[in-house]
Structure 1
């Protein structure tokens, strides 16, 4: 069995939507990693044969990646590959930062107890279980998302949360191509502690300041790496 095939087992009862998510994630990562050249033409048939899936999830993936600005879909002709440049990455980070500030401005006004704070500390401590840079990079994005999404659980603004998740998917793919250094991840963990402290004190001004610094530092690090690789 080829490693390039996406294996879908019937006994797992995976839905078409789930398959489409897998196809979207894989194709997004390949585009960002440069597997396909900018301007290259790809067809539904190409991806069906490569991934070993049916046409429907591939068509869904094409439409999703069109919405993300990674594909220009041409009716009856497949799609043309676009890319995320430095300016795109900067804009994505800025939009996501504004969504997070909006979400957290609501969260800090909610009724939450020490359990909420302790759970954030527990999630942030999961980074300590990683023994190497490689292991930490693998775990970092998932634990980082878990931390932020748990904070967001008290927010009722689902549109803002959906936008945050949407842009986080793009950034996660970029981060796989431009991995974090150990010092960057340690800095992020320390910033999480400041976020937790601000929440525990219900200090909205401090919270906004720390969240902004957290997001801008991550943005600047990614842009620096992207410029080096140009």
Structure 2
């Protein structure tokens, strides 16, 4: 590595090309087997996870049809997060080019739909119920700012949590260069524990992203 952040550079692959972006296609390798007539054990596990997430999102919508899109977003982020923990694999969701583009497009579509089809509801949502008259202008300003920064918080939360764990793994790996055997063994055990934590973070961040997106969509 030339520097600490080179592992997050998609141009760091061989031949100086952006082939690392192809890691996002791993998502298709998980989706297509789910349509097979005979499910494997991994397919059954994925179906069980998706069914559990579906039960979490059902109270927000009246129809299951609306939830297919959000389940797909959850699975896309989850697969990219988990496969990004593999060696020599670029984590596309840790790059703002992916996370910010995804969050911005979702937020913009929700806002356009809400303001075009439910204009009165969107105006009423700027002032919470029971707000004193004197505080209404301030509440409108606060709610407007909170709506505008939603795509930024969604994308930065996802990218920052993944980047922080990857940097810790890189720092621990560099500390083993020329170290004593006892130090190498200790750092290796710490990396294994951190990898377990990173796996949990990958699942939690995909769930948080999908849940917040579902909440934002239910408001409009």
TM-score range, shorter chain: 0.3 to 0.5
Of structures 1 and 2, the one scoring higher in RCO (CA 8 A, sep 6+) is 2
TM-score by length of 2: 0.33
Which protein is richer in strand relative to its size?
A: 1
Which protein is richer in helix relative to its size?
A: 2
